[in-house]
Chains A and B, each alone.
Chain A
Amino acid sequence: MAEATKTAEATKTDFEPNIVAFLCNWCSYAGADLAGTSRIQYPPNVRVIRVMCSGRVNPLFIMNALQQGADGVLISGCHPGDCHYMQGNYFARRRFNLMRNFLEYVGIEPERVRMSWVSASEGAKWKGVIEEVVEGIKSVGPMDSFKRRQLNW
């Protein structure tokens, strides 16, 4: 029994999660770009999808990413008050707050869905965010509760 839990623990930490990150065009995407051009090393588990604003991110995006095999989702936008469209990130924040509580309620680990504010000059913060997200997802293991079944005909 103890050995079985040990192996389970080992697979949990060994596995490399796939993370879908929705980054806003004006801040977070530029922040991630800065991290790259500054040669900052951060875990390579993130697949970036650029959106024009964090307010563009529909909660259905999160569900769809998790269904299609992402182990976690990160939404990142400008700091409050810095939104290129003035208010988009405020709407996103409110929406995400409810979504996050709800996913926790139905038994999906809140570590899987995260939100962050990363501005265009915060390349170093981006690295920290990614490290924290990856660590969180590694601690909860692969997403298998409602991943879409792949049919091989």
Chain B
Amino acid sequence: MVDITKLRDIAKEVISRDDVRQVIGYRPGTYGFRARPAFVLEPADADELIFSPACINNLATYIVIEEKLPVPRGQEPDSRKVAVMVKGCDSRAIIQQLEEKAYDRDHVLVLGIPCEGVVDMDKVNARFPNVDKGDIALEGDKFVISFNGTKEEVAKDELLADKCKRCRYPTPLVSDEMLGDEVERFADDDFSDVEVLEKKSRDEKWAYWEEKFSRCARCYACRNACPMCYCEDCVLTRLEPMWMRRSVDISENTAYHIARAYHLAGRCIQCGACEQACPMDIPLMDLNRKFYKDVRELFDYEPGTDAEQPPLLSTFSVDDREDFIL
């Protein structure tokens, strides 16, 4: 894992630079085991930065959803960089955003954190319910959970987030400064979870998804947490044309989930932020992973690995499959 003093020193040095506006990192949360995003504007604030397996948020989201207020006449917009701490998966979000030309490479300063996996908060909370304040650390292949003066060791596999169990890029693919030593790839992705769902019969599939979709409360937390959902004018909130109504029923929920997943086709970088944010435990990653798998098999394309490649659906190949066309 990353040395915290080194992390804070680098953050301090970065925020002291003239061309950096803020550093986005993690700090301890106010309750439970959570860590929360920290927006460091002063060198003194950098002392509270941490990195632990509880740092599950994808901070790349904040680069694109930051509100850009109009600048008063005669003033120049603040063009200083935003420094952001990224894990392996988050770095792919930055690459994908660069690929889509969401901002210039000069706009961000990437502080890479080689990551050995983060926890799934739902699993932690199920195992240690009602903890006011606690810490999680990774030591070897065990998570060390400490709270109220007690310390417990749990095998890594039991609490590790599902996305980390199939993480192929633990070390950031893009970074200006690396905060730790490179991590060996420790997992691989065989899409067995998607294949299980694909093998169901048609009625079983719809019964499965109908139950999941009808749970949705349409809070749009999945959209807001997603680093790739950054349209200023989202089709979901647009009134004219109103693609789907606001009512919470199976029809609108299905349309919403299909639209949301489709908008991430060839763009989703498998960070799991949507599923993590979902209060109703809808397996959103299963939807995203279907597209991820298809895109890889049909077009041999992997989002968020190369900032120079054109976005998948804005290009085509003359040899694309067309055996389904009449």
Contact = CB atoms under 8 A, between A and B. Distances in A.
Contacts of A101: 290, 294
A108 B250 CA distance: 14
Given A102-B290, A106-B258, A109-B202, A116 B326 contact: yes
A79 B221 CA distance: 41
B251 A149 contact: yes
B324 A60 contact: no
Given A64-B243, A98-B291, A105-B197, A115 B206 contact: no
B198 interface: yes
A29 interface: no
Contacts of B325: 93, 115-117
Given A105-B205, A107-B209, A146 B290 contact: no
Nearest to A130: B326
Nearest to A106: B209
Interface of A: 59-60, 63-64, 67, 80-81, 87, 90-91, 93-95, 97-110, 114-117, 129, 132-133, 145-149
B235 interface: yes
B287 to A, nearest CB: 8
B205 to A, nearest CB: 3
A14 to B, nearest CB: 21
B251 A67 contact: yes
B320 A94 contact: yes
Interface stretch (B6-14, B17-25, B259-267): B259-267
Given A80-B322, A101-B290, A105-B197, A60 B235 contact: yes
B295 interface: yes
Nearest to B201: A107
Interface string B174-217: 00000000000000000000000110001111111110000000
Interface string B264-298: 01100000000000000000000100110011001
